[in-house]
Amino acid sequence: MVYRIIETLIQGLDEAIGGGFTRPGLIYIVGHPGTGKTTLAVHYAYNRAIHFGEKTKYFLLTEPLSLFIDRIRLLKFERLDEFLEKYLSIEGALPLGGYEDIIKAAEHVLEDIASGGYQNLVIDSLSSLIRGLNPGEVAGVLNMLFNAISERDLTTIIIGEIPMFTEIQLPGVEEFMADVVIRLDYVDKRGEGLVIRLTPIKMRLGAIDRKYYEAAIDVDGFKIIGPLIQK
């Protein structure tokens, strides 16, 4: 396998993070609720599907599958139906269902990945695991996933949440293992209201400037508007 950078083709993102995502590699996207973490991951998967024919396995841990599909369908991507039917495969499990349900779903995900038909994996989200399982169980799921994907030519995105009003303790291993780390949060822009701020934290390949960028999400997906000016 050749360790390389691949384009996300999301407006402004590749330039902001030093060229794109890594392959093989682990991408950690962490941020406040509603800042576009899932939209970013789906938009990336869509772009890689439509432009390069890549398939994505999506491990959904945050909400029922039907609700997730309904939310994706709010996006006005030109070839959305084709993407959903041919290029996106979703395995859903809610952590409140218990450890055995999560393990069974994770095994299904890894069986599909082992078939070699997927180039991308999204785990959405790490925070849901932490809310629903005890620390030992979370470690068991993560070890199972990380060991299975570590030697595959795969781009893996892990989503984590930073609560607005409470605290949640993330394992921390995802930050150290990640090749790319992106943080999304809300900040006040010139006293006019909250905007989404994207901060590139880490990139193993290429150079990042660690500047703040203003981001936005709408029916066209995720986009970088430009450098964030707060003064």
- Report CA-CA distances (Å) from 127 to 4, 32, 87, 108, 130: 28, 11, 26, 21, 5
Q: What is the mean pLDDT of residues 195-210?
A: 87
Q: What is the pLDDT of residue 186?
A: 94
User: How would you class 55 by CB atoms within 10 Å of its CB: exposed for 0-12, middle for 13-18, buried for 19 or more?
Assistant: middle
Distance in angstroms (rounded) separating the CA atoms of residues 158 and 214? 22
Which of 33, 26, 6, 27 shows the shortest CA–CA distance to 184?
33
pLDDT, residue 207, reads 74
What distance in Å separates the CA atoms of residue 16 and residue 31, rounded to the nearest whole number?
A: 17
Residue 166 CB-density burial (10 A; 0-12 exposed, 13-18 middle, 19+ buried): exposed
Q: Which pTM was predicted?
A: 0.94
Distance separating alpha carbons of residues 160 and 109, to the nearest angstrom: 19
Cross-strand bridge partners of residue 214: 197, 226
| Cβ atoms 74, 38 nearer than 8 A | no
Q: What is the pLDDT of residues 171-186, one digit of tens each?
A: 455 567 889 999 999 9
Calculate the alpha carbon distances from 77 to 14, 82, 89, 184 in Å: 19, 10, 17, 23
Query: Could you tell me which residues come within 8 angstroms of residue 75 by beta carbon, excluding any fewer than 6 positions away?
Result: 39, 42, 43, 46, 219, 220, 221
Q: How many Cβ atoms from other residues are within 10 Å of residue 95's Cβ? A: 20
What's the CA gap between 121 and 54, in Å, rounded? 11
Q: Which of 45, 32, 68, 62 is nearest to 156 (CA)?
A: 45
**Using one digit for the tens of pLDDT, what is the confidence trace for 94-104?**
887 788 999 99
DSSP for 65-110, please give it.
HHHHHHHHTTS--TTHHHIIIIIEEEEE--GGG-HHHHHHHHHHHH
What is the band of 162 on the pLDDT scale with cuts at 50, 70, 90?
confident
For residue 216, the model assigns a pLDDT of 97
Res 3 pLDDT > 60? yes
* Phi and psi angles of residue 193, each rounded to the nearest 5 degrees, phi first: 135, 175
